Structure 1
Amino acid sequence: MVRKVIFSIAVASLVLGTAACKTVKGIGGDIQSVGQAGSDAIHKKH
């Protein structure tokens, strides 16, 4: 019984950790692209 609970917690932690890592990486990429677009707009020659 205790092993099943510990195993379930470990699996849930692994799944949530993996999902959170991908989410943070995606947000970082979005922020980077917004910054690049802003930089391009500022430095755009008319």
Structure 2
Amino acid sequence: MKVLIALIAACFLLGACNTVKGFGQDMQKAGEKIEGAAKK
């Protein structure tokens, strides 16, 4: 459930991206946060 919430939040944050590179960077950051939450 936490992963789903994080993905939904990431989608809202990604709305600010203007480039594919920016999108990739945001996805990487979101993935790192999800991974960190999964390790807890």
Whose relative contact order is higher, 1 or 2, with alpha carbons under 8 Å and at least 6 apart?
Answer: 2
Aligned runs of 1:6-45 on 2, under 5 Å? Answer: 6-22=24-40
Instruction: State the match for 1:5 in structure 2.
Output: 23
Identity %: 23
> Using the alignment, how far apart are the partners of 2:33 and 2:22 within structure 1?
16
Instruction: State the match for 1:38 in structure 2.
Output: none
Unaligned runs of 5+ in 2: 1-18
Q: Which has the larger radius of gyration?
A: 1
Q: State the Cα deviation string for residues 1-46 of structure 1 (Å, max 9, x = none).
A: 0111000100000000000111xxxxxxxxxxxxxxxxxxxxxxxx
Give 4+ residue runs of structure 1 displaced > 3 Å after superposition: none
Quote the RMSD (CA, aligned, Å): 0.4
> Aligned residue pairs: how many?
22
